[in-house]
């Protein structure tokens, strides 16, 4: 076995393709329905069937994959349940656009034919994101892949709907809902995106019907005034206590509407007189019910003014606003217009401004469900991590409103309600009814609406496992262990799964909810197509390799902190992957056979030290993953691999590996190298699965995939001296070598120049350590002579490094030309001072500081810090050199 088994350079694309094919062919992602092993399960947040991989998916699925691979290595029976969501509105829009390109509409082709078209599109294009997740290394149990419109999941949806209905938790009623005039459907509160927009506040006169005066009311939406059915004032408002009028004349109409008094009115807002439009405002709707007011819809579902608007009928709501304001002004009714920025709701799919609309819809009465979901978190049955999201969860759940679950589209789960055309009875059953149980009629019509997509998604943790059947899979893996998700669907999805999981299964759907942050660009800005700062995950994988990309995502996935994605960082971690590869190639040169048993009797200090560091690293990585501190796991591994293993251990072990210390020492070091390399690959595998698999598969003595390896057990090391003492002793050796290397750098001494050194130790213990490890120190620091003695006078003509428990002196006579080096440093300092002065001139220029973009200023400041640091180091080196020359 030799390093030639690994190619000279790591080629990620070829390795990734081959490794993933091997994993799937061997069924290494498969969970066991029933097993003696500890069960660990995650359900994937099902991406929309219309979706393509974006940075949020990349981060989310990297962390899920990390957890699943880690738990497999820990010996668990792991289920990562994959699947996609039918995404009702989004998918319908895609297929409607496709039909439009062919000159057709869904109404022209008809409902059944349209649904066939959607299924056809889904089969042809709907798996794109799944293939992209596989590119990222996602180790889902793909044989179990589900879709929210699968037959089994559809059965679960119908069963839950019927059960909730029969228990009085689903009802149909008139209510103000969020309506999208473009998509022609109701939207849940959470599907409305609010955006601050500049607006206007129109102050209008509403004259008293008896001619005794008028109210001035303020509104942001004059076009809705045609639906006003009252004006309300607060009963304690002193301005209006003496008013005797009982009605006002509604401008632009021939109607009179009542004056009502209610404590709901805010006396401080506007004039304290509130126009009440029950059909177009949720708060007015409640006020209207309380005072038994008429409800008048003033526009169609497409946002066009209807007959209630009189002469304005047929105008769009925007055009009506403009025309109505002009008419009000002409009639002297318009008092003034104020600028009034306010939050405007938009459809989360098509971005159309939402219209509050009175409509008959289906609702879930959620408070009884929410109360149990709140209690589950309060009692610790489910943890939300990071903790601060728990407060957000409570705030939303305590203020939850009934959930509008009907959608006026065709793609989705059809509401299982049939209406008898003869007697009007509602029939709600799991099986399609054929006759009306009330009158026996066979003239039944199914409700044309479909269920909100999130209704089926709320059942995901148990419906994907076969419920309502009592499957072994469900018995083994429910409740799931962990849910990894973004904060943006905490309410859309997580809270609803909590409610439905507890209702249906009488148990929480997951024990931990880990909420990750947002992936932003390198300047911390949110990625968007309009800003042109979107980074395509697949492009990053193509250029740098998936492992480098995954490690970057993990390294910056700190709890509660957004990830700033920089391609320079990915490039840096590509170097790390190459470092792992090259370290393995070097190791393979010395591992012609498996060295599975460590020869503790003959191991060196550096051997004991690296085993102690391996044990410490294993414990830290394990704790970090168990507590969802993914960035700490990555940081710990990076430090261990790059610095401990590559920079120090491989270098310090070369003498033994090349036989300079004897055969026994060589074999002992090989046994340690084998163990450390093997275990390090296992530790790395959850984050960088491809490179770890490729190296592990070629390591002597390994059989099968690294996915079948076991998480490292390091308990034996300390009993053989691989403990804190070894770390303390090796630390002294590292300090001495580092001190000597720093002197070389500071004094501009060529690496090839052998140096003479005197080490004055403060204690016999330190002296013994340095003496014992002298050969390692001399080899790594390139020394010709090294004398170890107790503390004495400082020799003349030396550069000094102070380390823990000792002073290290490097004799410089004959090594450097003091005058020449001083001249060189003085020239370098003069050049550096000029550079610093030039940058400071920019930073002191008020014109530049006020006009330059923030990122440009930040870049100049960074340049200043770097130049100043360089100047400080040059100055310090000059001072040291002059001190040595005088000495």
Helix (H) or strand (E) holding 171: strand 170-180
Structure-block tokens of residue 305: 């003014």
Pick from 563, 556, 572, 561: which is nearest to 523 by CA?
563
Cα–Cα distance measured from residue 882 to residue 427, given in angstroms and rounded to the nearest whole number? 98
CA distances from 660 to 56, 268, 413, 606, 791 (A): 53, 89, 74, 15, 32
Structure-block tokens of residue 774: 């002298």
Pick from 407, 442, 402, 408: which is nearest to 425 by CA?
442
CA distances from 773 to 82, 653, 729, 742, 780 (A): 55, 12, 10, 20, 11
Task: Decide: residue 390, CB within 10 A, 0-12 exposed, 13-18 middle, 19+ buried.
Answer: middle
Residue pair 552/565 in contact (Cβ under 8 Å)? The answer is: yes
Cα–Cα distance measured from residue 219 to residue 152, given in angstroms and rounded to the nearest whole number? 50
Q: Angle, nearest 10°, between helix axes 663-684 and 567-588?
A: 150
The partner residues of 85 in beta bridges, in order of sequence, read 48
Pick from 251, 257, 249, 225: which is nearest to 321 by CA?
225
Cα–Cα distance measured from residue 862 to residue 856, given in angstroms and rounded to the nearest whole number? 10
- Cα 465 from chain centroid? 25
Helix (H) or strand (E) holding 481: strand 480-486
DSSP H helices in 782-853: 818-843, 846-851
Query: Mapping DSSP to helix (H, G, I), strand (E, B) and coil, where does residue 142 land?
Result: helix
What's the count of helices (H) and strands (E) in the chain, helices before strands?
A: 30, 31
Residue with tokens 């109210």: 215
Structure-block tokens of residue 177: 């809902």
Cα–Cα distance measured from residue 276 to residue 293, given in angstroms and rounded to the nearest whole number? 9
Cα–Cα distance measured from residue 48 to residue 68, given in angstroms and rounded to the nearest whole number? 22
- Which bin fits 506, alpha (ψ -120 to 50), beta or left (φ > 0)? left
Cα–Cα distance measured from residue 178 to residue 354, given in angstroms and rounded to the nearest whole number? 6
Residue with tokens 């007697």: 423
Residue 122 among known ligand-binding residues:
no
Query: Mapping DSSP to helix (H, G, I), strand (E, B) and coil, where does residue 281 land?
Result: coil
Q: What is the CA radius of gyration of the chain?
A: 36
Q: Roughly how many angstroms between the first and final C-alpha of the chain, as a whole number? A: 55
Q: DSSP letter string over 187-226?
A: E-GGGEEEEEE--EEEEEEEEBTTSS-EEEEEES-GGGGG
Residue with tokens 């020394």: 783
Phi/psi at 290 (nearest 5 deg)?
A: -65, -35
Report the relative pairing of strands 170-180 and 185-187 from DSSP bridges. Answer: antiparallel
Torsion of the alpha carbons at 863, 864, 866 and 871, rounded to the nearest 10? 140
Cα–Cα distance measured from residue 794 to residue 810, given in angstroms and rounded to the nearest whole number? 11
Cα–Cα distance measured from residue 557 to residue 446, given in angstroms and rounded to the nearest whole number? 48
Pick from 720, 562, 583: which is nearest to 657 by CA?
583
Cα–Cα distance measured from residue 492 to residue 412, given in angstroms and rounded to the nearest whole number? 17
Binding residues for ATP: 529
Binding residues: 529
């Amino acid at each position: 076995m030799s390093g030639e088994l690994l190619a000279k350079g790591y080629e990620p694309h070829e390795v990734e393709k081959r490794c993933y094919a091997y994993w799937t062919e061997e069924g290494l992602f498969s969970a066991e329905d029933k097993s003696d092993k500890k069960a660990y399960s995650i359900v994937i947040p099902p991406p929309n069937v219309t979706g393509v991989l974006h940075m949020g998916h990349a981060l989310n699925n990297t962390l899920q994959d990390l957890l699943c691979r880690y738990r497999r290595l820990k010996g668990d029976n792991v289920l990562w349940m994959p699947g996609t969501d039918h995404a009702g509105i989004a998918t319908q829009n895609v297929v409607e656009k496709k039909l439009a390109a062919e000159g057709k509409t869904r109404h022209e082709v008809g409902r059944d034919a349209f649904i066939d078209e959607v299924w056809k599109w889904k089969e042809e294009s709907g798996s794109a994101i799944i293939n992209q997740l596989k590119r990222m290394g996602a180790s889902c149990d793909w044989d179990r892949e589900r879709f929210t419109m699968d037959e089994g999941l559809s059965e679960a949806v119908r069963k839950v709907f019927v059960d909730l209905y029969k228990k009085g938790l689903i009802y149909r009623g008139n209510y103000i809902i969020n309506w999208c005039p473009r998509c022609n459907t109701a939207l849940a509160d959470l599907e409305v995106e609010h955006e601050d927009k500049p607006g206007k506040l129109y102050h209008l006169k509403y004259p008293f019907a008896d001619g005794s005066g008028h109210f001035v009311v303020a509104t942001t939406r004059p076009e809705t005034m045609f639906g006003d059915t009252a004006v309300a004032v607060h009963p304690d408002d002193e301005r209006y206590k003496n008013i005797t009028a009982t009605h006002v004349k509604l401008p632009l109409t021939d109607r009179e509407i009542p004056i009502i008094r209610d404590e709901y009115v805010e006396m401080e807002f506007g004039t304290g007189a509130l126009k009440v439009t029950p059909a177009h405002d949720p708060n007015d709707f409640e006020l209207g019910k309380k005072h038994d007011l008429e409800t008048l819809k003033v526009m169609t579902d497409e946002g066009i003014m209807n007959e209630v608007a009189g002469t304005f009928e047929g105008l769009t709501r925007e055009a009506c606003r403009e025309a109505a304001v002009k008419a009000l002004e002409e009639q002297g009714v318009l008092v003034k217009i104020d600028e009034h920025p306010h939050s405007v709701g938009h459809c989360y799919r098509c971005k159309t401004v939402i219209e509050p609309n009175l409509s008959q819809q289906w609702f879930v009465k959620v408070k009884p469900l929410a109360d149990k979901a709140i209690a589950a978190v309060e009692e610790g049955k489910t943890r939300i991590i990071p903790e601060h999201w728990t407060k957000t969860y409570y705030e939303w759940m305590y203020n939850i409103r009934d959930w509008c679950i009907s959608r006026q589209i065709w793609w989705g789960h059809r509401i299982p309600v049939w209406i008898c055309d003869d007697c009007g009875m509602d029939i709600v059953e799991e099986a399609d009814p054929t006759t009306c149980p009330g009158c026996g009629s066979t003239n039944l019509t199914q409700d044309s609406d479909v269920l909100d997509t999130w209704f089926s998604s709320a059942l995901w943790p148990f419906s994907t496992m076969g419920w309502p059947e009592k499957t072994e899979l469900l018995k083994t893996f429910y409740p799931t262990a962990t849910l990894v998700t973004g904060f943006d669907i905490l309410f859309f999805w997580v809270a609803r799964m909590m409610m439905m999981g507890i209702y249906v299964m009488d148990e929480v759907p997951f024990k931990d909810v880990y909420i990750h942050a947002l992936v932003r660009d390198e300047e911390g800005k949110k990625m968007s197509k309009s800003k042109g700062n979107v980074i395509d995950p697949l492009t990053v994988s193509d250029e740098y390799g998936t492992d480098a990309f995954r490690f970057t995502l993990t390294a910056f996935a700190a709890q509660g902190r957004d990830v700033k994605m920089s391609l320079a960082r990915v490039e840096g971690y590509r170097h790390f992957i190459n470092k792992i590869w090259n370290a393995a190639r070097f190791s393979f040169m010395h591992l012609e056979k498996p060295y599975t048993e460590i020869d503790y009797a003959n191991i060196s200090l550096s051997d004991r030290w690296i085993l102690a560091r391996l044990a410490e690293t294993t414990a830290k990585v394990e704790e970090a993953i168990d507590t969802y501190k993914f960035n700490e796991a990555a940081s710990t591994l990076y430090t261990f691999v790059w610095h401990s293993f590559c920079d120090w251990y491989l270098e310090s072990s070369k003498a033994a590996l090349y036989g300079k210390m004897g055969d026994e020492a060589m074999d002992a070091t090989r046994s340690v190298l084998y163990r450390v390399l093997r275990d390090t690959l296992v530790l790395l595998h959850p984050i960088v699965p491809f490179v770890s698999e490729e190296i592990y598969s070629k390591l002597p003595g390994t059989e099968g995939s690294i996915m079948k390896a076991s998480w490292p057990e390091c308990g034996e090391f300390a009993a053989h001296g691989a403990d804190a003492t070894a770390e303390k002793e090796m630390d002294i050796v590292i300090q001495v070598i580092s001190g000597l290397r720093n002197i070389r750098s500071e004094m501009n001494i060529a690496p090839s120049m052998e140096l003479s050194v005197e080490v004055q130790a403060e204690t016999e213990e330190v002296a013994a350590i340095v003496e014992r490890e002298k050969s390692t120190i001399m080899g790594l620091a390139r020394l010709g002579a090294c004398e170890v003695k107790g503390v004495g006078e400082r020799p003349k003509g030396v550069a000094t490094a102070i380390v823990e428990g000792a002073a290290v002196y490097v004799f410089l006579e004959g090594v450097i030309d003091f005058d020449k080096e001083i001249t060189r440093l003085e020239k370098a300092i003069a050049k550096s001072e000029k550079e610093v002065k030039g940058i400071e001139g920019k930073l002191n220029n008020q014109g530049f500081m006020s006009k330059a973009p923030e990122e440009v200023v930040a870049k100049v400041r960074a340049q200043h810090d770097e130049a100043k640091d360089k100047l400080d180091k040059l100055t310090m080196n000059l001072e040291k050199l002059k001190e040595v020359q005088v000495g």
